[in-house]
Amino acid sequence: MTDAPALILENIRKSFGENEVLKGIDLTVAPHEVVCLIGASGSGKSTLLRCTNLVEPLDSGRVVVEGEEITAAGVDADRVRRRIGIVYQSFNLFPHMTVLRNVTLAPREALKMDRKTADEMAISLLQRFGLAGRRDEYPDRLSGGQQQRVAIVRALAMRPSIMLLDEVTSALDPELVAEVLSVIRELAHEGMTMLIATHEMGFARDIADRVCFLEDGRILEQGPPERIFSSPENPRTARFLRRIIEAGRL
Amino acid sequence: MTTRGTGPANDPEPSTPAGSGRGSRVLGNRAVLVSSVSTVAFFAAVALVVALAPGSGLVAERFFSPFHLWQSLRGTPGEPSVLGAFLLNVYIFAISEVLILVFALVIAVVRGIPGPAFFPFRVVAIVYTDVFRGVPLILVLYIIGFGVPGLGIAYFSYLSDVTYGIIALVLVYSAYVAEVYRAGIESVHESQNAAARSLGLSRFQSLRFVVLPQAIRRVIPPLLNDFIGLQKDTALVSVLGSIEAARAAQIYGASQFNYASYVVAALLFVLITIPLARFTDRLIARDKRRRQAGGLA
Ligand SMILES: Nc1ncnc2c1ncn2[C@@H]1O[C@H](COP(=O)(O)OP(=O)(O)OP(=O)(O)O)[C@@H](O)[C@H]1O
Ligand SMILES: [Mg+2]
């Protein structure tokens, strides 16, 4: 089981009405691997992540998490989502709950963890990410960077076997980006398996074991970041990266 | 009124706004003086008109006679006390309110459950709200209060008038309140539900812990508004024969040829709705402040 890929996506297809957004995506992520998805806006990165944890229902294709096919009939999607952490661009913290309650809600209600255990676990996670002093605050009293770190902690509290991160720094002021990226780096060092959609090319080059270039609902090219960023094989990848460089973002 | 700690109080200018005082946070001395004078002058003018109007002595006697005000409030051996009868209004109000809050929430939630299997339930909820918002309360009272006893169904046809009244109020008001809840539920952004579901919470858990608490907080002011209406409409239950405040006042008025009893009943209703109204205002003001504070974050 431990040798099974952490995640297999097989021929994932998804349309919104007439608009086919994912046109057959195949992707395998090994345990402890960090894979970055890059590509222009609208290429389908977010949709792919949302389909992976079944928040968005797929039209066809298979998703296999640690050897278990979660798209099979009769699989309880709620149980599956507990094993897949996802963090969104816009944090989506629960505004009516304190930081601590945000983090402990799912462990207590979905995993039936008792309050004491959940609180202790949450506090130690918050401590690790420099948020211990904020545990009784409400989200609107935190900076964007802090909110996003709480959102990451909230996902980690479910002990997911893989984390999906969807442009987690795009909504942040530039000076707050670094603190969130450093949290993700730390997770990578600890061996967390991650699938990351990002526009931060420098970050992708640093952190990724593999980079996938998405265009128009297909993975056009993938490989180690050194190769993709320095000598892309596909002319479209090259064109995308050239535009990024011109925009001063690499 | 001026205790709101809005921003810096170290305004360098003395508060004597030249010309219009628009935009000044605090009423200046001059403004207070102007508003006091105009208030006194206005009510003095009203009092003068009322006192000089033809028949004003009769009005005072028929509506504001201290003797009748007091006697109708207390009741006599022959006529029920308006105050005592008002307790029935309060009782009907209290029971109905609790039932409405629960029942309306069920309707609102059922209406929002997706999926083809729940289609018939959604239809029932929609038809229910459409019907009971459209039919006048007094008709529902007649239909329930006179119709159901006539059916001769075990138990349900042998309830008290007050119980039929409460059932009618709950049916009608729940339709309104369900819509208020639904507006609240829909005002919570879908991303909140998505975040909850992504963490592995079930649909029901997401509703219970994430969506409903936010939705209900937002609709408390309109809910209180509906309850002010409910409090007044408890008087309509008298059409089924219960002696509540309005009916007691009518009995007194008819036998004494004096309408002070109506004034007493009216004052009792106002006395209980004013605190509710001011409380609603405060919640709305607090909400507004919160939103503004949140907007800055
Ligand atoms: N819920 C939806 N309903 C309809 N169309 C959608 C929906 N979500 C996404 N789309 C469409 O799917 C396409 C891909 O969107 P997606 O958000 O996956 O792109 P992305 O690569 O994440 O872009 P970005 O870099 O801007 O975040 C877009 O054309 C978008 O309009
Ligand atoms: Mg996106």
Residue A2 is predicted with a pLDDT of: 55
Atom of ligand 1 minimally distant from the CA of A17 = 4
| Nearest atom of ligand 1 to the alpha carbon of A37 | 21
| Residue with the larger pLDDT of the pair B250 and B25 | B250
Query: What is the structure's pLDDT at B292?
Result: 67
**Which tens digit of pLDDT belongs to each residue from A223-250?**
999 999 999 999 999 999 998 888 876 6
Give mean pLDDT, residues B105-126: 93
What's the whole-number average pLDDT of chain A? Answer: 92
Task: Convert A171-220 into a string of H (helix), E (strand) and C (coil).
Answer: CCCHHHHHHHHHHHHHHHHCCCCEEEECCCHHHHHHHCCEEEEEECCEEE
| B66-293 placed in CATH 1.20.120.330 | no
Which residue among A88, A96, A105 places its CB closest to the CB of B214?
A: A96
Task: Decide if pLDDT at A216 tops 90.
Answer: yes
Domain residue spans of chain A: 7-246
Chain A residue whose CA is closest to B211? A94
B24 has pLDDT over 60: no
Nearest CA in chain B to A144: B297
Shortest distance, CA B182 to any CA of chain A (angstroms): 19
The mean per-residue pLDDT over the stretch B247-258 comes to: 91
> Is the CB of residue B213 less than 8 Å away from at least one CB of chain A?
yes
- What is the tens place of the pLDDT at every residue in B39-71? 999 999 988 887 887 777 887 888 888 888 898
Helix B66-74 and helix B260-296, axial crossing angle in degrees, nearest 10: 80
pLDDT range class, residue B4, cuts 50, 70, 90: very low
Work out the percent of chain B whose per-residue pLDDT is above 90: 57
Split at pLDDT 50, 70, 90, the class of B124 is very high
Query: Please, which residues have CB less than 5 A from ligand 2, an ion?
Result: A 46
Interface size A-B, in CB pairs within 8 Å, comes to 60
Mean pLDDT across the stretch A83-88? 94
pLDDT at site B174: 97
Contacts of B184 in chain A (CB under 8 A): none
Rounded percentage of chain A residues whose pLDDT exceeds 90? 77
E strands, chain A, are 7-16, 19-29, 34-38, 60-65, 68-69, 84-87, 162-166, 194-197, 210-215, 218-223
Task: Determine which residue's CA is closest to atom 27 belonging to ligand 1.
Answer: A41
Task: Please check whether residue B24 is in contact with residue B17, taking contact to mean a CB–CB distance below 8 angstroms.
Answer: yes
Return the residue whose CA atom lies nearest to atom 5 of ligand 1: A16
Q: Which range, of A23-37, A145-159, B12-26, averages the lowest pLDDT?
A: B12-26
User: Which residue among A46, A166, A168 has the greatest number of ligand 1 atoms within 8 angstroms of its CB, and so is best to mutate?
Assistant: A46
Nearest CA in chain A to B297: A140
* d(C-alpha A243, C-alpha A249), whole Å: 9
A95/B214 Cβ within 8 A: yes
Using a 6 Å CB cutoff, which residues line ligand 1? Answer: A 16, 19, 21, 39, 41-47, 167
**Confidence grade of residue B203 (pLDDT, cut at 50, 70, 90):** very high
Please tell me the pTM assigned to this model. Answer: 0.83
Of residues B17 and B217, which shows the higher confidence score? Answer: B217
| Cα-to-centroid distance, A166 and ligand 2 (Å) | 6
Q: Name the DSSP class of B239.
A: G
Domain A7-246 sits in CATH at: 3.40.50.300
B170 and chain A in contact, CB less than 8 A: no
